Amino acid sequence: MLRKAVANLKKNHVIGLPTETVYGLAGNAYSSKSVKNIYKLKKRPKYNPLIIHYFDKEALKKDVILNENFFKLYKKFCPGPITFILRKKNESKINPLALAKLKTVAIRFPHHKIIRLILKKISFPLAMPSANISSSISPVCAKDVADEFQQKIKFILDGGKSFVGIESTVVDLTNKPRILRPGIIGPESINKVLKVNVRYIKKTSIIKSPGMLKKHYSPGIPIKLNRIRGGKNDAYITFGKKYKKKYNHFNLSKKSNLNEAASNLYKIMRIIKKKKFKKINVVKIPKRGIGIAINDRLERAARKK
């Protein structure tokens, strides 16, 4: 299976691959054919750049300019669920379409055993956005990817359920470090390493990233947040042990564990969608640790545009 994945990637085919955060739609980042195909399959707007995945920092030196903050965070968290925005080198071979023609690059070193074995066997990095149609729910298992793309892709490698369950933390390191997308690695852990006060600034006017689309991660059903009451035929996403088991209640974590809640979030949104509920109410989820990332995804999913 591993060999088949590698053979497909070498032929510039686009395939589904597991990572520890969510499943990705992977292709050769140096090939315009692969990159074009990723945008087409995902129906992704051309102005939204892709994350480029590498085996280690050696593999990346020829494409991006590294800096001190990068080295510190790399040492502490990589491989792992964190993405860095860095400046591109002029001689970089990354296909410009993958970067939406920007002069910066989002790079990541995924931790999942399978993707590491694959990255080790190829001589190019992988452009790999989450394997979902643009603005819908990210996939956390091979079946989700199959549901999303059916016959449109040749191959999906099954690596089990993605352990983290939501996308990597995105940190911009091109200037004063700042978080563009919250994830399981939070600002406190980053601050400890960089000894600066990195924050996640949610105001859209400050978010320069073209890809920080407001509406995202959406199951395509109206979502109301911080609500316990609603219609009796609505679906309810709950958290904590006080919620009883009911046919329309979906508990993110009975133990009130936020990591468990993150890993269940997209899975539960998909189940609710499949069961054809018309509306989702979500109870208040604590805004600490990975809870910040959960709330960010829920707020984007709940947006009308």
- Contacting positions for ligand TXA (CB under 6 A): 19, 21-22, 24, 48-51, 83, 85, 102, 104-106, 108, 110, 128-130, 167-168, 170, 180, 209, 211-212
The option from Mg ion, ligand TXA, none interacting with 186 (CB < 5 to 8 A, set by class) reads none
In the complex with ligand TXA, the residue whose CB is nearer, 182 or 236, is 182
Q: At closest approach, how far in Å is the CB of 252 from ligand TXA?
A: 19
Comparing every residue's Cβ against Mg ion, the nearest one is 130
Residue the block writes with tokens 């793309």: 149
For residue 246, the SS3 value is coil
Closer residue to Mg ion (CB): 46 or 61 = 46
- Torsion angles phi and psi, residue 236, rounded to 5: -125, 125
* Residue 169 interacts with Mg ion (CB under 5 A): yes or no: no
Q: Indicate the SS3 state at residue 25.
A: strand
Shortest Å distance, C-beta 166 to ligand TXA: 8
Q: CA 301, CA 305: separation in Å to the nearest integer? A: 9
CB of 244 to ligand TXA, least distance (A): 34
Q: 12 or 209, CB closer to ligand TXA? A: 209
Shortest approach of ligand TXA to residue 253 CB, angstroms?
Answer: 20
Distance from C-alpha of 39 to C-alpha of 243, rounded to nearest angstrom: 41
- CB nearer to Mg ion: give 130 or 168: 130
Residue nearest to ligand TXA (CB): 211
The CB-of-229 to ligand TXA minimum distance in angstroms stands at 33
Please compute Rg for the chain using Cα positions.
19
Pairing of strands 15-17, 24-28: antiparallel
Give least dist CB 210 to ligand TXA, A. 6
Q: What are phi and psi of 64, to 5 degrees?
A: -135, 160
Half-sphere exposure of 188 (CA within 13 A, CB side): 5
102 vs 235, which CB is nearer to ligand TXA? 102
> Can you tell me which of 28, 37, 69, 130 binds Mg ion, judged by CB under 5 A?
130
Closest C-alpha among 178, 225, 184 to residue 200:
178
User: What SS3 class is residue 188?
Assistant: helix
Characterize the bridge pairing of strands 235-238 and 280-282: parallel
Is the Cβ–Cβ distance between 124 and 29 less than 8 Å? yes
- Smaller CB distance to Mg ion: residue 34 or 130? 130
Contacts to Mg ion by CB under 5 A: 130
